[in-house]
């Protein structure tokens, strides 16, 4: 018997389109101009990202999958039985299934995503695949306040699952605030299983974010296509170039959309003049060391319990626990 329709919690305090409009107008009005990376993932953006994950240059997904396949048993043992798995942005859910297949009697699976369409598809697929597991989707921005639905049975703890190195999209200060918020969501005895991309050679990083097939460029420009479709903007995507590079000083890969000419863009009553060569910053992807990230997490209320990496130390999956008030 399926429980999805009975127990799903489709909260959506800020409609996705309204959030996109607000962030786009604010981001283009400031200097330097920017668009938050969370708006990449409409249906087309999610599809393009899945293609990126299959590219030979893009190592993070296949490397993390290898870590999960080798160590999922150890990870599930750390999380323990009857845990509520709260996943932030589950995407195609392949990593989710690897974890769920190894968990001992999970109490519930709670995917949290700002994209209602993506969320509905993922939740329905997992509900069909795991007949005895309550699937309780929440449509919300996981960086903001939301309520974790309670499962029908008893739960031992809440474990947040955040694979895919998305934490790298946050600045270190934003990441600390995000981790502190996650500790509040997980609560006492809470756990966090998170993927982080590790520091490595600049050539490997530059190729991963500017692939030879141009898929990442299309993914980046899809932000403009989405703005035209959903907000009635008048971007000309062909007038922008995809720019991505490793910034060693800040320890991050940056992605931008660079104007190929002097042009004007209109969104509602807002008019923006962009000069040739001017850039719209669309994404940061910070790279960490395990010890550096552990120190950051400690300042946000977490203690590192275990870390798993690949043979080349390109990627890591970390298990952390909420630090209790007494310890």
CATH code for position 136: 3.40.50.150
pLDDT-derived band of residue 210, with 50, 70 and 90 as boundaries? very high
Cβ–Cβ under 8 Å, residues 223 and 217? no
Question: What's the rounded Cα separation, in Å, for the pair 110 and 122?
Answer: 11
Residue 305, in any domain of the structure: yes
**Is the confidence at residue 327, as pLDDT, over 60?**
no
**Is the confidence at residue 86, as pLDDT, over 80?**
yes
| Predicted local distance difference test score (pLDDT) of residue 279 | 98
Residue 146, in any domain of the structure: yes
**Is the confidence at residue 9, as pLDDT, over 60?**
no
Domain count, the chain: 1
In the predicted model, what is the mean pLDDT of residues 213-231? Answer: 97
| Predicted local distance difference test score (pLDDT) of residue 144 | 86
| Predicted local distance difference test score (pLDDT) of residue 117 | 80
Residue 110, in any domain of the structure: yes
In the predicted model, what is the mean pLDDT of residues 284-305? Answer: 97
| Predicted local distance difference test score (pLDDT) of residue 13 | 41
**Which residues, 6 or more positions from 174, have their beta carbon under 8 angstroms from its beta carbon?**
none
Question: What's the rounded Cα separation, in Å, for the pair 283 and 260?
Answer: 19
Residue 295, in any domain of the structure: yes
Where in the sequence is the domain holding 306, given as residue range(s)? 4-12+57-200+289-322
**Is the confidence at residue 204, as pLDDT, over 60?**
yes
Question: What's the rounded Cα separation, in Å, for the pair 282 and 81?
Answer: 40
pTM above 0.95, yes or no: no
User: What is the C-alpha radius of gyration for the chain, rounded to an integer number of angstroms?
Assistant: 20
**DSSP letter string over 248-274?**
TTTTEEEEEEEESS-EEEEETTEEEEE
Residue 259, in any domain of the structure: no
pLDDT-derived band of residue 43, with 50, 70 and 90 as boundaries? confident
Cβ–Cβ under 8 Å, residues 39 and 223? yes
Question: What's the rounded Cα separation, in Å, for the pair 163 and 307?
Answer: 13
**How many Å separate Cα 203 from the centre of its chain?**
24
Residue 254, in any domain of the structure: no
pLDDT tens for 111-167 read 998 778 888 888 999 999 999 999 999 988 888 888 899 898 899 999 999 999 999
Cβ–Cβ under 8 Å, residues 52 and 216? yes
Residue 91, in any domain of the structure: yes
**DSSP letter string over 70-128?**
HHHHHHHHHH-SSEEEEEE--TT-HHHHHHHHHSSS-SEEEEEES-HHHHHHHHHHHHH
Question: What's the rounded Cα separation, in Å, for the pair 77 and 173?
Answer: 31
Residue 275, in any domain of the structure: no
Give the CA count within 13 Å in the CB-facing half-sphere of 192: 30
């Amino acid at each position: 018997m399926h429980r999805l329709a009975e127990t799903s919690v489709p909260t959506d305090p800020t409609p996705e389109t309204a959030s996109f409009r607000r962030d786009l107008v604010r981001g283009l009005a400031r200097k330097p101009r920017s668009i938050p990376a969370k708006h990449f993932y409409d249906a087309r953006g999610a599809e393009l990202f899945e293609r990126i994950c299959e590219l030979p240059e893009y190592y993070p997904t296949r490397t993390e999958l290898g870590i999960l396949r080798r160590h999922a048993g150890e990870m599930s043992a750390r999380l323990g039985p009857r845990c509520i798995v709260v996943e932030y942005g589950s995407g195609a859910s392949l990593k989710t299934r690897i974890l769920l297949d190894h968990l001992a009697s999970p109490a519930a699976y709670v995917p949290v995503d700002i994209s209602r369409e993506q969320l509905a598809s993922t939740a329905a697929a997992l509900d069909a695949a795991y007949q005895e597991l309550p699937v309780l989707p929440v449509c919300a921005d996981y960086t903001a306040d939301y309520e974790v639905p309670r499962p029908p049975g008893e739960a031992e703890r809440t474990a947040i699952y955040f694979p895919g190195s998305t934490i790298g999209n946050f600045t270190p200060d934003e990441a600390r605030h995000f981790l502190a918020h996650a500790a509040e969501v997980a609560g006492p005895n809470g756990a966090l299983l998170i993927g982080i991309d590790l520091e490595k050679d600049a050539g490997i990083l530059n190729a991963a974010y500017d692939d030879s097939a141009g898929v990442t460029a299309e993914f980046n420009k899809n932000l403009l296509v989405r703005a035209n479709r959903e907000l009635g903007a008048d971007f000309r995507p062909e007038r922008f170039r995809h720019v991505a590079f490793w910034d060693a000083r800040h320890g991050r890969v940056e992605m931008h959309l660079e104007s190929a000419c002097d042009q004007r863009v209109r969104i509602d009553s807002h008019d923006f003049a962009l000069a040739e060569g001017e850039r719209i910053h669309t994404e940061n992807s910070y790279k960490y060391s395990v010890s550096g990230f552990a120190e950051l997490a400690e300042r946000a209320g977490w203690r590192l319990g275990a870390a798993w990496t690949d043979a080349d130390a390109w990627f890591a999956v970390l298990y952390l626990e909420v630090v209790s008030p007494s310890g």
